[in-house]
Structures are given as structure tokens and as C-alpha cells.
Structure 1
């Protein structure tokens, strides 16, 4: 992280409940991702956020609209 770069914020929404796969139903992070978050650099945090987004799409929590033509 460069000195001027701010830390990537946690996706936590204070809805902390794990599903059967140990993924938080609020933020879509795994237990391992949650516990490691404070030790991750921004690049790793962005990668985790991308995984969270994919998990949310797969579970139907995020709907993707078709691209405008």
C-alpha cells in the first residue's frame, strides 16, 4: 500500500451469520477471509471483494442487469 493510499474498507454490514459453507450471509466473506482481513494488503482485499461479489451473484443476492445496447 502506498503512503497516500487508504485501506480498502471492510464489506461488513453487521449481519453476521454463517451459512452451511461458512460464508457470512451479510458480507459474503469466508471465515478465513474475515479473520485475515486486518492483515491483508489492499490488493488482496480487492481480490476478496471480487470473490464476495461473485458469491453474492451466485446466491441471488445481487441481480445483474443486462448491458445496455
Structure 2
């Protein structure tokens, strides 16, 4: 799975406003298997929705 980073890399309470992942998830990304990566991406998407307009989603 492709890394979901969009090179925004600004954090609010430990969550990246660009991709929605936590710092720990970003650091562990390459070590996660495909299923774990899919789970992280799904959770990150939900975080971005809850962050609302201050999050920057790749469009």
C-alpha cells in the first residue's frame, strides 16, 4: 500500500493534519503489514473528518 503522506506534516494534538495519522503510526508505517496499513488509513480518514476544515485532505 502506498504511503498516505501528502507532505503537509503539521500536527494538532499528535495527529497530522495532512494524512490524519498519529506520529506513532507514521513512524511504524513501513513495518506494518498490508492489513494493518489499511486499518491505519481507515482510522486516519475518520480522524480527518472529525478535524473538519482545519485538516487538509488530498483532493
TM-score range relative to shorter protein: 0.7 to 0.9
Q: Where does structure 1 differ by over 2 angstroms across 4 or more consecutive aligned residues? A: none
Structure whose alpha-carbon radius of gyration is higher: 1
Unpaired runs of 5+ residues, structure 1, are 1-7, 63-69
Unpaired runs of 5+ residues, structure 2, are none
TM-score by length of 1: 0.72
Note the aligned Cα RMSD (angstroms): 1.4
Larger fraction in strand = 2
Larger fraction in helix = 2
Comparing both chains, which one has the higher relative contact order based on Cα–Cα distances under 8 Å and sequence gaps of 6 or more?
2
